[in-house]
Structure 1
């Protein structure tokens, strides 16, 4: 029985990966700091929990033990993280590091966290230029996140070890933080009868189901190598299509008000709103034999159920700052009232 060790195994990516591998006959050990955070379904499926701090090399070496067939790091954010990982990767047949589409820059040097939104004229391949690596800016900042990821990628890719860097985009699953779908689910639970969408609901930012990321990780596990791979859903729905999917799965109907450039600034924003589409090219993953677990619509239901249940239990997502701009009902109602007035004249 092959063995997988998943660092950050209790999070949304680790959970999906562990469940996928357990279903394929792997022995899976998930590493985390708190056993209370282990999802019940992982224990039920046969995963073993190992308590260890990602920053404690001794604890990580003890968790690895005699080695692993697959090592997955969901918590590699900096070059220092990457250097500590190499000591484990040297004793693993295949290693996967989770990275992000936040590393890519367009022709003007703009990226998804820059003040000026990026404009990628075509789907982004793994050869697209990236940010310059940095180690002196906090990775938890807008400016530092992507640049630190690039620094971490370079460390593992230059090691000569069979490490696959997987760049994902807006991962969705049970336990996501931020759980972007909450921007629509909350509106449904509040019984909103109209949905305002900026830019007529166009644009769109490619999404990645944790289940699809897990499927790619399993593919890589059987094909060790040093490479970079994009990971995203097989479709790239627009903001309008995502909102329709969520409302449809929750059995809710509303009027879609598709706004143009004359609408007030900030009205109709969603987490998937973008002046230009941001789409990842996943043909390199497909060439390895990867097959997606499903489209956005086919994979989002568990996350929606989780959000609805959490809200009904009085425990909705806590990312208040992230979601604040999406629920200005007063501004929406004022716009809709004026719209009705104009239509009535």
Structure 2
């Protein structure tokens, strides 16, 4: 059973599991289907916030429950309550639960001066994590992990700490930054930190492969879930240009953004790069795609969604998370002052 089946990762994971021979029930609030799923996938409407509805959907039980939409202690306890009927679980977490040795994390980056975490490169699953709580996305994911790991003897669980997820159906696609600029005819872009920022991406296809491999291997474990490579922001921009058939010149800032100019969804002062050795060792994992290979479908999906719409209407969550990413007037003024 796949919970959150019509979301960004769920759509691909359902297909991967079905093609691997599993009998798959796709659970979502809408009960919808993806056109790419095999015909024998069973789609069922189920709101995971309704304990009774989820319990009824599980019925007599399943071998594996894959949960794309779990957050916090409540969802963890909900899953553990099904332990007698569920053989094992695979649950999506986030690499954002990590904190550095000074206690800095993604919650402190905006709240404190010099608050951005400095992780080792690469980050392994042994890195310390934030204190569990219910105050933010990060603390809720940490609480989810704590509760599930504590109950691992009753419900074996594979927790996948996903990176910057990319692919179609994403509500906050970082690629939007370059796609929209190219569509708007912007042929010069400013990149902070010398364009060298690295924030580890994670393809929905590679995450689905990790799910496929974990499903028949019950166990309680935590694994990073990212692509094999972590390209720089400049390399990502160039790769998207190549897909869209345009040429763009980069203006590189040595340091942070200048009053917002030069900022992107990938712009970080130090690398955020994760290690995948544990997944290789425990699951025999190998990536099924590289970042650049996935861009044509991602770009096409974003272009279609933007067609005839304001980007804030097309991607309201992106606007809520990042604010105005396309203040061209401020950028033009900055470039003019720099030329002068």
The change in CA–CA distance for 1:339 and 1:251 in structure 2 (over 3 A counts) is same
Residues 53, 248 of structure 1: alpha-carbon distance in 2 compared, 3 angstrom cutoff: same
Mapped to 1, the partners of 2:262 and 2:181 lie a distance apart of: 12
1:1-345 pair list within 5 angstroms? 5-35=1-31, 37-42=32-37, 45-114=39-108, 115=110, 116-135=115-134, 137=135, 144-159=136-151, 160=153, 161-261=155-255, 264-287=258-281, 288-314=283-309, 316-319=314-317, 320-341=319-340
Describe the superposition over 1:76-118 as per-residue Cα deviations: whole angstroms up to 9, x where unpaired: 1011110001123432233111101111100111112322111
For structure 1, the residue ranges without an aligned partner over 5 or more in a row are 138-143
Q: Which moved more, 1:181-190 or 1:109-118?
A: 109-118
Residue 39 of structure 1 deviates from its aligned partner by: 3.1
What is the CA distance between 1:256 and its match in structure 2? 1.2
- Tell me the CA shift for residue 124 of structure 1: 0.9
Are the aligned partners of 2:243 and 2:295 in contact in 1 as well (CA < 8 Å)? Answer: no
Distance 1:165 1:201 in 2: 32
Distance verdict in 2 for CA 1:241–1:78, change over 3 Å? same
Cα deviations by residue, 1:206-235 (Å, 9 ceiling, x for unpaired): 011111110001111121100100000000
Q: Report deviation, 1:38.
A: 3.6
Cα deviation 1:8-43 (Å, max 9, x = unaligned): 1110111111111122222211111113x543333x
TM-score (norm 1): 0.90
Cα displacement (A) at 1:262? 8.4
Q: Secondary structure at the match of 1:167?
A: strand
* Cα pair 1:71 1:89 within 8 Å, conserved: no
Shift of 1:323: 4.4
Pair 86,236 (structure 1): closer, same or farther in 2 beyond 3 Å: same
State the number of aligned residues. 328
Gaps of 5+ in 2: none
What's the CA shift string for 1:266-286, capped at 9, x where partnerless? Answer: 211111110000011111001
Structure 1 window deviating more from structure 2 (248-257 vs 88-97): it is 88-97
Question: Aligned partners of 1:207, 1:68: CA distance in 2, in Å?
Answer: 31
Normalised TM-score (structure 2): 0.91
Q: 2: distance between equivalents of 1:328 and 1:45?
A: 46
Q: Does structure 1 conserve the Cα–Cα contact (< 8 Å) formed by 2:89 and 2:157?
A: yes
CA distance, structure 2, for counterparts of residue 45 and residue 295 of structure 1: 28
